[in-house]
Amino acid sequence: MQCVRSILTAGAQGNLGSSAFVVSVIDSTCPGILKQAEQQGSFTRDQILRQLKGYGMASLTQEPFRYSIDGRPAAVTLAMARPDDTTDAPGRKSTFAAKACFLSNIPVKTSGKQNAATNNEVICLDYTTQNRELLTRLLSFTVKFGDGEMHPVVPGNALR
């Protein structure tokens, strides 16, 4: 049973280092993981730090920023990893990353309370690069839900 499904993976290797982009979906296959993912702020923070440990000493560069994308609750967290001091591989660079997650459906409001949408999934976008400037460019990508309008994956005011 796969709780997190990667539905798109892309990467590049060039003069400025390597970069990767992954789109993943978390659904009700694993209700406990879905419940954690619906708390986008803490989920993005915990996951990005776990993912970056493979690149060295991981630390947050920006705490989770909560926002809305086309009516869907979302959060983005930025982090980086510096190569470990024990690593003597020449040319090792710092790795920069962002994790943005949002609900696939707009939550329904009943009796003034916001309830999770039925048949909900959480969609997460992971960006990893050795070029900090590319991270900002990737975060400015736009997405469109159904026949709706284009929206930035991460609003400009989320990035400090």
Q: How many CB atoms lie within 10 A of CB 1?
A: 4
Q: Tell me what pLDDT residue 89 has.
A: 55
- Supply the CATH number for residue 12's domain: 3.40.1000
Question: pTM here?
Answer: 0.84
Q: Which residues pair with 6 in a beta bridge?
A: 24
- For 34-66, what is each residue's pLDDT tens digit? 999 998 899 999 999 999 998 899 999 999 999
pLDDT-flagged residues of the chain (< 70):
1, 85-91, 109-119, 159-160
Q: Tell me what pLDDT residue 141 has.
A: 86
Q: Tell me what pLDDT residue 15 has.
A: 81
User: How many structural domains is the chain composed of?
Assistant: 1
CB 152 within 8 A of CB 140: yes
Range of the domain at 60: 4-158
Q: Tell me what pLDDT residue 155 has.
A: 83
Number of Cα atoms under 13 Å in the Cβ half of residue 151: 17
DSSP three-state, residue 110: strand
